[in-house]
Amino acid sequence: MFKDILNKEKITEIKENFKEESEIINTFNKVFFKGIDMRASDIHIEPHIEFYIIRFRIDGILENFLKLEKNIGIGLISRIKILTGLDIGEKRLPQDGRFKGKIEKIKLDFRVSTIGTLKGERCVIRILSKNTELSLENIGLSDENYEIIKRNLNKTSGIIIISGPTGSGKTTTIYSMLKYLNNEERNILTIEDPVEYEVEGISQVQYKNEIGLSFSNVLRGFLRQDPDILFIGEIRDKETGEIAIRAALTGHLVLTTVHAKDTVGILERMKDLGLDMNLLINGILFLQSQRLLKRRCKFCENGCDKCNKGFKGRILMEEILEFDEKIRNILKENLNLIKFKEQIQYKNFYERGKVLFDKKEISWKEFIKECD
Ligand SMILES: [Zn+2]
């Protein structure tokens, strides 16, 4: 039948198209199954001059997974853009969106971002698992710190500040706290850029600079929404800091993050921003700093089929500085942070004693170097 209507060339073209289409679908399945199986947090689809490379971010580090012909890479991105509802014709301007999927009964949420580069369009997919049992009990806190956190989360006003580098699990910690607090009696609002976890019962706002509102303006609007608990993604400027402190001192529980290397570093940072330290000190419930370290594989030294080059999963390491009257008084009397460290015999991650790791005693410093 075909022979009568179509010439040989046309048939070859259709066959070729069909072959490419099914290759794209196969590649899509392979990339997503494998990415999830390897517990990647992100999938990168990167254009090079003559091909595409797929890379996975696993335990914080990018690793090559697959090399694709250029047309397959382009087709893969188009398929992802269709699923995300993005404009497939627009290949240069940045676009972002989300799509949902299900793999082996696990509901998954994907955040997609695309942008045009000189070598073609690139795409990064953040894998956000919806079913992860995110809870304070299972994020890996020490028993002592778990108790401190629970005790303070039950207070109705004050501020909790968490620090740690990008990828140290701050958002996961904050969300496990919000989940602990989440019930019908509380109004929980978050303002973030971007929103990383979607949680039922919490009002989350993704802050976008494009709408012409400053972060502090959005935050002011938020405070008129009668919140009990407020999560402010990050304090980057004095204005935001001032609003956060005021909210914490007027009957709200405020959770936030700042860039600082340890808990005392949080105070240094807030001081540098020019905030009223007396007010802040009154408002702080506790400061937390954290890192995520790669966990050594139990079965091997340099890699086996159960792990990724000798490492599997990550462990949380956190330090918490809880504020009580004694600490507040020391700081109010003399805001000399070097002296403060001496008075409370403060030791950050790097200065602590020994830690038992892989049945060997090593210093925290070595521990971090080994795993970070
Ligand atoms: Zn292994």
Provide the domain limits for residue 122: 2-129
Residue 352 lies in a domain: no
Percent of the chain with pLDDT strictly greater than 90: 52
Instruction: Specify whether 228 is located in the same domain as 301.
Output: yes
Ligand 1 center–CA 227 separation, angstroms: 47
Lowest mean pLDDT across 61-75, 192-206, 258-272: 192-206
The answer, yes or no, to whether residue 1 has pLDDT greater than 70, is: no
Q: What is the CATH number of the domain that holds 107?
A: 3.30.450.90
Question: Which chain residues have CB less than 5 Å from ligand 1, an ion?
Answer: 297, 299-300, 304, 306-307
For residues 115 and 178, state if they share a domain: no
Q: Does one domain contain both 107 and 224?
A: no
Who wins on pLDDT, 345 or 31? Answer: 31
| Pair (55, 177) in one structural domain | no
State residue 296's pLDDT score.
76
Predicted local confidence at residue 313, as pLDDT: 76
Q: Looking at the domain assignment, is residue 363 inside a domain?
A: no
Which of 129, 155, 173 finishes a domain? 129
CA of 301 to the centre of ligand 1 (A): 6
Q: Does residue 79 share a domain with residue 165? A: no
pLDDT digits (tens, 9 = 90+) for 35-46: 988 888 899 999
How does DSSP assign 284-311, residue by residue?
EEEEEEEEEEEEEPSS-SS--TTSBTTE
DSSP states of 85-127: T--TT--SS-EEEEEEEEETTEEEEEEEEEEEETTEEEEEEEE
Which range, of 20-29, 75-84, 344-353, averages the lowest pLDDT? 344-353
End-of-domain residue from the set 129, 145, 179: 129
- Looking at the structure of the chain, the number of domains it has is 2
Question: What's the gap in Å between 170 CA and the centre of ligand 1?
Answer: 27
Q: Is the pLDDT of residue 371 over 60?
A: no
Distance CA 136, CA 304 (A): 31
In a domain, 350, yes or no: no
CA of 312 to the centre of ligand 1 (A): 7
Question: Does residue 196 sit in the same domain as residue 86?
Answer: no
Residue 367 and residue 323: Cα distance in Å, rounded?
Answer: 28
Question: How many angstroms separate the alpha carbon of residue 68 from the centre of ligand 1?
Answer: 28
Let me know if residue 95 belongs to a domain. Answer: yes
- 3-25 pLDDT, tens per residue? 555 677 777 877 888 888 899 99
For residues 64 and 89, membership in a common domain is answered with yes
CA–centroid distance, 13 to ligand 1, in Å, is 47
Distance CA 274, CA 199 (A): 34
**Residue at a domain's end among 129, 152, 181:** 129
Same domain, 35 and 95: yes
Query: Does residue 249 fall inside a structural domain?
Result: yes
- List of long-range contacts for 56-65, beta carbons under 8 Å, 24+ apart: 58/308, 59/294, 59/308, 59/311, 59/313, 59/314, 60/167, 60/292, 60/294, 60/314, 63/308, 65/31, 65/34, 65/35
